[in-house]
Amino acid sequence: MARQFFVSIIALLIAAPLACLGEVNPCVLNPFNKTCIADNLRAKYEEVISLKYKFDVLLIDVRTPEELACTGSIPTSINIPLATVSDELKLAPSLFLRKYGRKKPGLNDLIIFYCHSGNRAATAALAAVQLGFRNVKNYVGSWIEYATHHCLPLDCSGATPEPCKTTTSM
């Protein structure tokens, strides 16, 4: 009887946390999640377009090269696909500079990630924080918002947003 009770307690201790996983708020798992991101972790359109004057901020597009070939990218950004973000941010500074033509960010330098809609950027931002980077943001509007302001293709279908917002180009 005591053994059965002990086995039941062990099973409960193992199963209870697993049962709760289905209830975990996605914002607890990733504070960069676009549905609940805090303002201090969110990059806004105005901040992103001002980056052409700020070479100390790194804007990273985590979409695939195939997506960029169809749509283009935000000026001053570099492309590091999501699947390689962690490895690339671990590169030696000299290798990062040679590969991307930009200085590797220091742990306190601002890094802004974007993608198509802000989801992959959230994953990349979390990966950067897990590597020790402390000043990281997700451009939640990502390519969809930028393309809307500049009447650029949204995706490989060539469709442009309707209606396009008119702003000065970057």
Annotated catalytic residue: which of 70, 115, 156, 164?
A: 115
CA distance 28 to 169: 37
One-letter amino acid of 52: K
**Rounded CA gap, 30 and 87, in Å?**
19
27 is catalytic: no
The 10 Å CB-count burial string (b at 16+, else e) for 114-146 is bbbbbbbbbbbbbbbbeeebebbbbbbbbbbbb
Report the distance separating Cα 37 and Cα 70, nearest Å: 29
Q: Give me the active site residues, please.
A: 115
